[in-house]
Chains A and B, each alone.
Chain A
Amino acid sequence: MYQGIKISGFGGQGVISAGYLLAQAGMMEGKEVSFFPAYGAEMRGGTANCSVVVASDEVTTPIVTSPDTAIVLNEPSLAKFEPTVKPGGLLIINSSLVNSKATRTDIKVIYVPCNQVAGELGNAKIMNMVALGAFAAATGAITIDAIAKALPKVYKKLKPEVIELNVKALKRGAEFKLN
């Protein structure tokens, strides 16, 4: 198993922390992992992205140029990363903010209204967890359980009830399946 993942969205959507969390979860599950944040002139409101690799064997390059899975949380990210997904790969689109549809037919696409689901759960900040939940369920590269266990390692100051809310968001995300 070798999953190269690209996560992209606005700065402030939790793109970087979602990537860090995936890597932490993968490591705790005994997999080989790497996490590489784009560290250019990113700022709140600008577009940020990161590369994560979760593998059963050695991680080669930490920079994911043709991802097995791309998670796009805003409109500019769809335009930028849809063309890069490997044929047969997976594209997860945050349909709350991305109005366009995927144009490629050689990849799998899941539309997840991340912001809407997070809103229903009462905390807009956990929209990135909804996307990760969908990723975990669709790829099996990592379990929801592992991500839940990694949460307190990455967000050290979070209260237990907020962690619980994040886990709920992961589980809700996992309900969004391929059409």
Chain B
Amino acid sequence: MAEKKLMKGNEALAEGAIRAGCRFFAGYPITPQNEVPEYMSWRLPQVNGAFVQAESEVSAINMVYGAAATGVRCMTSSSSPGISLKQEGISYCAGADLPVFIGNVMRGGPGLGNIAGAQGDYWQATRGGGHGDYRTFVMAPNSVTEMANFPHKCFEVSFKYRIPSMVLADGIIGQMMEPVEFKHPEVDVKTLVEPDWAIGVNGGRAKRIVKSYDLREGYLEVMVNERVKRYKQIEASETLYEEKMMDDAEIAIVAYGTSARVSVAAMKLAREKGLKVGLFRPITLWPFPKARLVELSKRVKKFLVVEMSLGQMVEDVQLALNGRAEVHLHAKPGASVMTADEVYRTMDNIVKKGAKEYAAAK
């Protein structure tokens, strides 16, 4: 086994992207993701890649649009306010079917908010913060090792389905250090086949155009519907989740990122006190693991969504379950982190309230 290395989440994300074949990065500094561009600035030249510190987030996303149009694996990253600035560009990338990879290391919001870790960009990431009908493939890491390995999956999905992809981490996952394990073999960029839509200098072949529009009557609808087919394929085959102690669970916590880490501690606390609690962790936020939640609801009748936001993911859980089970919420907005004890108390209340209601009904 290779020697274990202690690494910061942000650095692991950058190194993971490079190992997955990323050879172009454009970005603009913002806390708490500064280690990503910092790492890229010295590491990319070592692998014959290019790093650009752009003059703004808007420039960075459009540089990445250009790079992706040539078929190269490329990335931009930022944190919440900076990702807001990139939304127009992300919509254009989606419209032009470009496989760009975006890192969002979330901080507090709205507005300038603060620089602490948060999960307030769930809606923006999963609903498409830019204009128009589109989707982005969104992965939510809860460890430094996942930061290191998710870029590989993102590039794979992005290139297979021609869709922008995003790692949606919170500032805590970005800033923390943990032993890291890179699970995928390093991608040799020389072996990557140039996509049949990529533009570049290649005399003699048929003209290729990358654009996010087709002004012929009725053709935008055709374009969007063609894209929807790919979205359906992604939903069918790229959905990821993790379950912990769900076999005998009577309450399922649904949480991602740092919230899922705290929830594991809360689950252990609850188990010690006799509550049968399990954890369901969506790894892809879009596509959201709806089908599995429905399956679980045949047995589990109480779900508790734990998130560091005012209640965003809870809507996806409600949509998925559609009344099949109780859905409760433990929300912690404002860039603060819930404690395991707080989450445990919420679960305890749910159980006690349920018992009271049962007694009253009798």
Please give the residue numbers on chain A whose beta carbons come within 8 Å of chain B beta carbons, in ascending order.
Answer: 20, 23-24, 27-28, 32-37, 39-40, 58-63, 65-66
Contacts and interface: CB of A to CB of B under 8 A. Distances in A.
Given A23-B6, A60-B265, A33 B337 contact: no
A60 B116 contact: no
B212 interface: no
A174 to B, nearest CB: 24
A60 B261 contact: yes
A20 B116 CA distance: 20
Contact of A20 (B4, B32, B177): B177
Contact of B264 (A23, A58, A63, A66): A58
Given A39-B115, A60-B340, A62-B172, A34 B264 contact: no
B29 to A, nearest CB: 14
Contacts of B31: 39
A84 to B, nearest CB: 11
Contacts of B268: 60
Contacts of B178: 33-35, 59, 62
Q: Which of A20, A28, A34, A58 has the most C-beta atoms of chain B within 10 angstroms of its own C-beta? A: A34
B258 interface: yes
19 contacts: A24-B6, A33-B6, A36-B172, A36-B177, A39-B31, A39-B32, A39-B115, A40-B115, A40-B116, A59-B178, A60-B261, A60-B265, A61-B261, A61-B265, A61-B337, A62-B172, A62-B176, A62-B261, A63-B172
B342 to A, nearest CB: 10
Most B C-beta atoms less than 10 A away, residue of A33, A61, A65: A61
Contacts of A65: 337, 339
Nearest to B173: A62
Interface residues of B, number: 23
Contacts of B341: 66
A28 to B, nearest CB: 8
B6 A60 contact: no
A114 B6 CA distance: 27
Interface of B: 4, 6, 31-32, 115-116, 171-172, 175-179, 258, 261-262, 264-265, 268, 337, 339-341
B179 A33 contact: yes
B89 to A, nearest CB: 27
A60 B262 contact: yes
A65 B4 CA distance: 27
Contacts of B340: 60-61
Contacts of A23: 6, 177
B176 to A, nearest CB: 4
A35 B11 CA distance: 14
A37 B339 CA distance: 17
A36 B261 contact: no
Contacts of A59: 178
Contacts of B115: 39-40
Nearest to B261: A61
Nearest to A36: B176
Given A39-B32, A40-B115, A62-B261, A34 B4 contact: no
B288 to A, nearest CB: 24
Nearest to A41: B115
Contacts of A36: 172, 175-177
Contact of A35 (B32, B177, B258): B177
A126 B115 CA distance: 31
Nearest to B32: A39
Contacts of A35: 6, 176-178
A7 to B, nearest CB: 14
A33 B179 CA distance: 7
A27 B4 contact: yes
B172 A60 contact: no
